[in-house]
């Protein structure tokens, strides 16, 4: 993802050479680009997606919101054509190593109205053995198969890895010593005072500063990455490990896996500003932008001025050159966006359209694209809905195919327009405040896209002055296919209530 100089005297552009190699050897090598700025990521909790092998369903409890539901790597591999069809170019999967076998009683927020339940490590973050695969998810061979099949479809695979902690009461407790000099810290710590030495969620904290611990964890994940052939890591609980660890991690993943091995940090609360120190030291390639979800939910709910929200979108462009912000609407740690928007699909579509027309690495949380019913933890981790299709565990659960069609169009537009992926950002100012209008422009390809958003529940006409490049041009209406003339340096466009319009320049001067 860093911009690299082309080797001197090399007459064939690297991209062309790679394409030729790719066409010749596509079953053997990954054709995916190492630059992630063009990608759209799809995040899957393996257990909740698709059950491809009932033989690994030991102890499955589909009625338990905290139990294993039977999804596995084999089932996910069988669904890759769906993801390629949607326009997904990278898959993020939860950690795959062996989980603690036991469960713990847990209580959901009272408003969800679900009884106390037993919580197992179905999500992959409670590791019992970093050197073994979790049997419910499948074998190492099945992980390799997933990666191979994904690469054939030009889909990269991002593996979630944990370095900060073990699962509760894991096999690593034998490495704890009473004097606190073993592998695990003693005492609770305080995350407000020292995030590095505290117990996140009460989980046992590894003493990652010890060379023995550091080497064990690094070697285990590096070996797994090399064996499986994954393209990068999503780094869990990033802020809870010291900088020295991450600098060594960067050096070793580049040296031992690949110089292009991609690293995405989960630095809780991160945004363009707070992630910059980590980009400045090149610890990672990207970090999650925790500000995006809540900002969009507030905007479509009518909070604040549209122009203030537009300024916020512009501020996301302050990210250091060569590094990426990953932006999402929902995650396994936060309430689903559609739930937060009181199931208002028009508002949700607006946020999806802004997500796909914004700078960064968009992340779709599995099932969002079919309006998966989900709410707050633990019900933000419900099964992927498959409707009438005979796929467990979400067989029979309702899915909205029109929402998927909308996402598919949005992803197609994003893939079609370099301006949306890497272009600069201009906020347009106009007299009708409920409307947000911005232009993304990529100078290298001379590609320009205009986005108009009416968050109001009334129909209105957007009327904005446009930059000179748009004057007298023929434009495409990307979402609606309705012709639209741009003349005299303005756009005057009818807008349905709570709607988005996306225009792009398709040709030279009109009439030429
Ligand atoms: Ca299974
Ligand atoms: Ca720690």
**DSSP structure string for 328-386:** ES-BTTB--HHHHTTT-HHHHHHHHHHHHTSSSEEEEETTGGGT----STTTTSPPPP-
CA 204 to ligand 2 center in whole angstroms: 9
Whole-angstrom distance, CA of residue 218 vs CA of residue 161: 10
What is the 167 CA–ligand 1 centroid distance (Å)? Answer: 22
User: What gap in Å lies between CA 483 and CA 466, rounded to an integer?
Assistant: 17
- How close is the Cα of 299 to the center of ligand 1, in Å? 41
Say what the alpha-carbon torsion angle 12, 13, 18, 24 is, to the nearest 10 degrees.
-30
Assess whether the previous peptide bond of 299 is cis (omega < 30° from 0): no
| 58 C-alpha to ligand 1 centroid (Å) | 8
Is 159 in contact with 234 (CB distance < 8 Å)? yes
**199 C-alpha to ligand 2 centroid (Å):** 7
Query: What whole-number distance in Å separates Cα of residue 310 and Cα of residue 314?
Result: 6
Q: Looking at the CA of 135, which ligand is closest? A: 1
User: What element of type H or E holds 128?
Assistant: strand 127-133
Closest of 478, 491, 502, 493 to residue 354, by C-alpha: 502
The kind and range of the H/E element at 295 are helix 291-300
Distance 67 CA to ligand 1 centre (A): 13
Pairing between strand 117-119 and 104-106?
antiparallel
Q: Distance, CA 176 to ligand 2 centroid (Å)?
A: 15
Q: Characterize the bridge pairing of strands 156-161 and 232-235.
A: parallel
Tokens of 311: 């300024």
Distance 265 CA to ligand 2 centre (A): 15
Q: How far is the CA of 165 from the centre of ligand 2 (A)?
A: 7
The pLDDT value given to residue 68: 98
Say whether pTM exceeds 0.95.
no
**Residue found under tokens 């064996």:** 227
Q: What is the pLDDT of residue 507?
A: 65
Is-contact 42 88, C-beta < 8 A?
yes
Strand partners, 505: 475
Token pair belonging to 284: 């990672």
* Cβ atoms < 10 Å from Cβ of 80: 17
**Cα separation values, 25 from 152, 197, 408, Å:** 10, 47, 29
56 C-alpha vs ligand 1 centroid, how far in Å? Answer: 5
Distance CA 200, CA 126 (A): 12
State the virtual CA torsion across 234, 236, 239, 245 in degrees, nearest 10.
-70
CB 1 within 8 A of CB 35: yes
Compute the distance from residue 507 Cα to the ligand 1 centre, in Å.
51
Q: Which residue has the tokens 């199931």?
A: 343
Strand partners, 165: 205
Centroid of ligand 1 to alpha carbon of 333 (angstroms): 24
For residues 92 and 121, is the Cβ–Cβ distance under 8 A? no
Ligand nearest to the CA of 245: 2
Q: Is the peptide bond before 103 cis (omega within 30 degrees of 0)?
A: no
- Output the CA 163–ligand 2 centroid distance in Å: 8
In tens digits, what is the pLDDT along the chain, a chain of 512 residues?
Answer: 333 333 333 334 333 444 444 445 544 444 445 689 999 999 999 999 999 999 999 999 999 999 999 999 999 999 999 999 999 999 999 999 999 999 999 999 999 999 999 999 999 999 999 999 999 999 999 999 999 999 999 999 999 999 999 999 999 999 999 999 999 999 989 999 999 999 999 999 999 999 999 999 999 999 999 999 999 999 999 999 999 999 999 999 999 999 999 999 999 999 999 999 999 999 999 999 999 999 999 999 999 999 999 999 999 999 999 999 999 999 999 999 999 999 999 999 999 999 999 999 999 999 999 999 999 999 999 999 999 999 999 999 999 999 999 999 999 999 999 999 999 999 998 767 899 999 999 999 999 999 999 999 999 999 999 998 888 788 899 998 776 667 778 888 899 999 999 999 886 554 33
Length of the chain as a residue count = 512
Q: Say yes or no: do domains 27-164+208-416 and 425-509 share a fold.
A: no
Q: Which of 463, 376, 508, 321 is nearest to 112 (CA)?
A: 376
- What is the predicted pLDDT for the residue at 2? 33
What pLDDT is recorded for position 6? 30
Containing 22, the helix (H) or strand (E) segment is: helix 14-25
3-state secondary structure of 368: helix
Dihedral of alpha carbons 267, 2, 158, 363, sign: positive
Nearest-CA neighbor of 335 among 294, 300, 304? 294
The rounded Å distance from CA 439 to ligand 1 centre is 46
Which ligand is nearest to the Cα of residue 142, counting in written order?
1
The CA 52 to ligand 1 mean position distance, Å, reads: 6
* CATH no. for 425-509: 2.60.40.1180
For the chain, the structural domain boundaries read: 27-164+208-416, 425-509
Of residues 198, 136, 220, 130, the one with CA closest to residue 167: 130
CA of 225 to the centre of ligand 1 (A): 23
Please state the CATH superfamily assignment of the domain spanning residues 27-164+208-416 in this structure. Answer: Glycosidases (3.20.20.80)
- Beta partners for residue 492, in sequence order: 463
For residues 476 and 496, give the distance between their C-alpha atoms in angstroms, rounded to a whole number.
18
CA 494 to chain centre: 33
Query: How far does the centroid of ligand 1 lie from the alpha carbon of residue 367, in Å?
Result: 19
Cα distance between residue 34 and residue 185, in whole Å: 38
Q: How far is the CA of 393 from the centre of ligand 1 (A)?
A: 9
Distance 206 CA to ligand 2 centre (A): 6
């Amino acid at each position: 993802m860093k911009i690299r100089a082309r080797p001197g005297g090399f007459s064939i552009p690297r991209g062309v050479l790679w394409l030729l190699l790719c066409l010749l050897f596509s079953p053997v090598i990954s054709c995916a680009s190492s630059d992630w700025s063009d990608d759209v990521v799809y995040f899957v909790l393996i257990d909740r997606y698709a059950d491809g092998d009932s033989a690994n369903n030991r102890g499955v409890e589909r009625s338990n919101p905290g139990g294993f539901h039977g999804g596995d790597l084999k089932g996910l591999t069988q669904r890759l054509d769906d993801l390629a069809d949607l326009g997904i170019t990278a898959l993020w999967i939860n950690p795959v190593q062996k989980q603690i076998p036991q469960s713990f009683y847990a209580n959901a927020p009272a408003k969800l109205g679900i009884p106390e339940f037993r919580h197992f490590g179905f999500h992959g973050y409670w590791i019992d053995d970093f050197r073994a695969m979790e049997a419910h998810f499948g074998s190492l061979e099945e992980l390799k198969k997933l990666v191979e099949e994904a690469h054939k479809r030009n889909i990269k695979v991002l593996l979630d890895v944990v370095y900060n902690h073990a699962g509760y009461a894991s096999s690593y407790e034998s490495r704890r010593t009473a004097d606190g000099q073993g592998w695990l810290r003693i005492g609770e710590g305080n995350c407000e005072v020292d995030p590095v030495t505290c117990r996140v969620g009460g989980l046992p904290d590894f003493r990652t500063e010890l060379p023995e611990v550091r080497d064990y964890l690094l070697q285990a994940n590096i070996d797994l990455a090399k064996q499986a052939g994954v393209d990068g890591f999503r780094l869990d609980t990033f802020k809870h490990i010291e900088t020295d660890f991450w600098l060594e991690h960067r050096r070793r993943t580049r040296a031992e896996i690949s110089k292009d091995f991609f690293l995405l940090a989960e630095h809780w609360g991160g945004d363009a500003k707070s992630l910059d120190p980590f980009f400045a030291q090149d610890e990672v390639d990207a970090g999650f932008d925790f500000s995006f979800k809540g900002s969009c939910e507030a905007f479509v709910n009518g909070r604040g001025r549209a122009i203030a929200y537009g300024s916020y979108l512009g501020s996301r462009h302050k990210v250091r050159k060569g590094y990426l912000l990953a932006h999402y609407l929902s995650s396994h740690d936060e309430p689903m966006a559609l739930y937060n928007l009181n199931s208002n699909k028009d508002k949700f579509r607006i946020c999806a359209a802004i997500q796909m027309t914004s700078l960064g690495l968009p992340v779709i949380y599995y099932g969002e694209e079919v309006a998966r019913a989900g709410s707050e933890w633990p019900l933000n981790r419900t099964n992927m809905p498959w409707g009438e299709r005979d796929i467990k565990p979400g067989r029979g659960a309702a899915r909205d195919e029109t929402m998927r069609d909308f996402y598919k169009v949005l992803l197609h537009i994003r893939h079609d327009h370099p301006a949306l992926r890497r272009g600069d950002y201009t906020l347009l100012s106009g007299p009708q405040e409920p409307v947000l209008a911005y232009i993304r422009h990529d100078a290298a390809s001379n590609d320009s896209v205009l986005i108009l958003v009416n968050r109001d529940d009334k129909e209105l006409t957007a009327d904005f002055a446009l930059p000179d490049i748009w004057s007298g041009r023929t434009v495409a209406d990307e979402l609606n296919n309705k012709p639209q003339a741009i003349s005299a340096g303005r756009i005057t466009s009818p807008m349905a209530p709570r709607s988005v319009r996306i225009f792009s320049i398709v040709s030279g001067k009109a009439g030429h």
